[in-house]
Structure 1
Amino acid sequence: MGSQSREFQGWLGLDADSVKGNMKWQSYAPKDWEETDVDIKISHCGICGSDIHTLRSGWKPSDYPVCVGHEIIGTAIRVGSAVKHVKVGDRVGVGAQSDSCQNRPGIRPNKDEDCAECAQGLESYCARMVGTYGSRHFNGGKSLGGYGLYNRAPGHFVIPIPEGLDSADAAPMLCAGVTVYSPLKRFGAGPGKKVGIVGLGGLGHFGVLFARALGADKVVAISRREDKRADALKLGADAYVATAEEEGWAKKHKSSLDLIISTVSSAQMPLGDYMGMLKAGGTLVQVGAPEDGALPINAFNLIGGGKKVAGSMIGSPSEITEMLRMAADKGVKPWVEKRAMKDANQAVLDMVAGNARYRYVLVNEGIENQVQAAL
């Protein structure tokens, strides 16, 4: 079972100003222990755009205090008796989701019907999905993330990390990676397909890597500025489109792609032109989430060519497991920059400024001494 005496400490956002470098290192109480849980000693935690939105209450008012971070890697140090796929000492991870109803009596959305999403292994679409932070567990405890020493999570969403993957590389795959892997796989981004990735950031660079790893015939990276062209080609893109600087790009690339994954969180993107890049019957999948939720679509962009717009959100435990195995087998190597956990506030500021190329990962090495020295 492992030792039960430990103090949960981490960087807490106390209000919307916390995103301005004002998180505070404090102790906090995790959810009450259940025998379905796993306690993890955190070694790495990626910084995700969702962390920024939550710290500043961008999508909705946050339930402060919050401890963000849902790209968690560490060692299982306590394992509940009901958890069979993890043992103490295993290297494990937790992504953006911490729980779902799993058709448990009294928890499923409709007590008279099974949850079709959980029954089909689509837990990320369960109506009672619990986020790794910013939510409430079914026992009433607040979900608290990975900018800290420990994380307690329901075991169903604790994923063993395969050998062959560096922990700093695996951490951002648990959210950013699976957010693009899931729709790429589901919508057939394999041999014979030409795939576009809109936005070359934390998610978009994974889009290029995974589209290539899945065997797409052609991968096109699409961004506003020319300055990311060299990076896109190094990541494995066959072509690059700089929409703000390349004259006539929409006409040049018209009807050339089978599938587009849009990672951009902006209602101002030229969505009609992106739709024009699709072949007849092609699909654009939106994974970026603008804070105002707006995504204006012209009906004629769909009607002409029988095109489709879809959405996708994170991924299920089975998809994460599959993605990690493929990444290990094929040597997928994301571009990450390690940052000390003690410097989390500065790393958040750098993330907000758009300086990440292309993912920051907080590293817990001697964290207790690091943080005390920084305070």
Structure 2
Amino acid sequence: MHLIMNEENKFNYHSVFNEIVDSVFITDGNSAKIIDVNKSGCHLLGYSKEEIIGNNLYSFIEDNLSTDFPKSPSEIKMFGSVLLNKKIKTKSGDLIPVDMTLNTFTDETGNFVMTSLRDVSERVRYENKILEINDELIKSNTSKDKFFSIIAHDLKNPISAIISISEIVTNKKEEVPEEELNEFTGMIKSLSEHTYELLENLLNWSRIQTNKIEVSKSNYNLSEQINKIIKILSPTASLKNISIKNSINVDEIIFADSEMINTVIRNLVSNSIKFSMYNSVITVSSKSDDGNWYISVTDEGIGMEENYIKDLFKIDVHTSRYGTNKEKGTGLGLVLCNEFIMLHKGSIKIVSELNKGTEFTIQLPKENL
């Protein structure tokens, strides 16, 4: 190809050159200065032809990528002529993803590079969408695996135990001392409560995963809600001689979905009971500022390490531990708590120290109070 042409060839060259759909730049092979550019190139960059010619082509390339580009015909031949997923800067400051194709040619006036740029914004959008869908599928499969794992083990085992103990109580009650019968009855009650709580968490979690749950907010008394939770959980806490203290102002009114917040606080207090020492105290407190309410559940339990805390709300990471009385959990309760608070556009903060205790703090944005 020759840049020195007669008038007729020059006319044909520019006619074809300007009709090319891709953005094409002719640059000097040594300096990378732009000698010519077609209409598509001007449109892509948002500059006029006069503004583009004379500039170094690499000045339009995103800075942190420009060092990747071959600077001479010899480098192009050495490293290849196709560069994918690069970004070019437009006059308006936008960064447009492009694929680049570089070809070299020589005539009697010197060495030149023809660079073709193809806008791949649409392809990148589709690629990102595919990655997003793939991530969702992975999360969905993880959730499904966790769901079936809980059903297969954590739900099946206590039900099997209830059936076995019930058979003993029903069929051999005359042979079993009254003291043991009372113990068996207590075990049935404890296992039934655990199974019911687990089943309730499973159902709520499954409703969230299928988008079949909506936040229904109203103004309600937080202190009264905490008193009801304490009443429900006190029998379990008494087995370790744990006292649950409600430090919330009796007139504290918040605006939230009372059922969701009830589930969250009940799970957090239940979690604190599980990991608290005997003869300790669990405190439920609250405070507020101009924009948020803060509800805290603080215990004097075994605490957690920092690397354990960061995985507590991840469904795909096993975080379940035995409690101080060998209580078994699934880790689903805390995942559900986080999901419910996220639906309120809030967050849960955890501060913990090994062998000292843990504080869970719920942050809820104020609105419409």
Q: Looking at both structures, which has the greater relative contact order when contacts are Cα pairs under 8 Å and sequence separation is at least 6?
A: 1
Higher helix content, 1 or 2: 2
* TM-score between both structures, scaled by the size of structure 1: 0.24
Structure exhibiting the larger radius of gyration computed from Cα positions: 2
* TM-score between both structures, scaled by the size of structure 2: 0.24
